[in-house]
Structure 1
Amino acid sequence: MNTTASSSSTGGGEHFQRCWRIQTCQGCLGQEPDCSWCPFSWTCVPNSNRLQLLAPAWDENVCPHWAERWEIRTRPLGCQVSTITTLTSLVTVASTLALVLLVTLTVLGARGIKAYSKKNPGWWKIWRYDWRRAASECRRRLRAGLRFKAHDADTRNQNREQEPLLPS
């Protein structure tokens, strides 16, 4: 079982004793400014981190039992809100705002494309290209026995690959 003595700062023994003697969450968070409540082990532990809510990120032994590390209750939020609940809420709100921003940008982009399409009709249509002329030219080249340059390069590379890399 981990001890919380490592999470105390200077004058650690006195700070530890001041927090450890308190047996209720309200008393722990209300009486001492540098104490936090670990709910599973019902202990008031010293927490002298600048952001007490994020103490588990810097000190893995902030609570006596490892499983309650992220369940710690701190002074700014009270006994009903744990660190993991707060962080989950913050991530959820940030993700929701990012999704709303993405949807808004998509809608604005679609409106912009629609407005551009009204000013320049047919700008995106691939069938504006004369495919019949391109196909007839391709057939003419094939009938004449001419090959495409890409095809010639492929056959040259195939011949080169058959040569051995190292001399025998």
Structure 2
Amino acid sequence: MRVRLDTVDWKILRELQADGRMTNVELASRVGISAPPCLRRVRALEEAGVIKGYRTLLDESALGYEVTVFAMVNLVAQAGSALAAFEAYVRGQPLVRECWMLSGDIDFVLKCVAPDLRAFQAFVAELTAAPSVRNVKTALTLRPVKDEAIVPAELPPPT
């Protein structure tokens, strides 16, 4: 079910996405309300599941993960047990940063990081032998063009 948000809620979401570490007092000031109702609104957005959590974004390359690769995976079957086995496998792989199930010619796309190509090649060999995997195709990234960990928080048009 979609949550109804007003202009102040959208401002709160925009500000928190830009800086999730700001104090409630600073947030209230930025959105133009006092601190107590601001805190109530943030808590309500958290309870409604609109705000799922808070994280620190890390720079992969600064931590030694120089390689980012997308892996396109096709399974031998899309039966429930095959999907469950592959999904469980992927959840246990620290080099896999994101995994999306797709419709169409590819069953899953994985965004992976690795310290170097050798480490990624070893991971691909393991991935190819993973439960229910038919084949894996990879695409080595050259550079990011856009990488935003935010949801567009613009006020939707009136209905």
Structure showing the higher helix proportion among its residues:
1
* TM-score (structure 1 length as normaliser): 0.20
Structure showing the higher strand proportion among its residues:
2
* Higher RCO (C-alpha under 8 Å, 6+ residues apart): 2
Greater Rg over alpha carbons, structure: 1
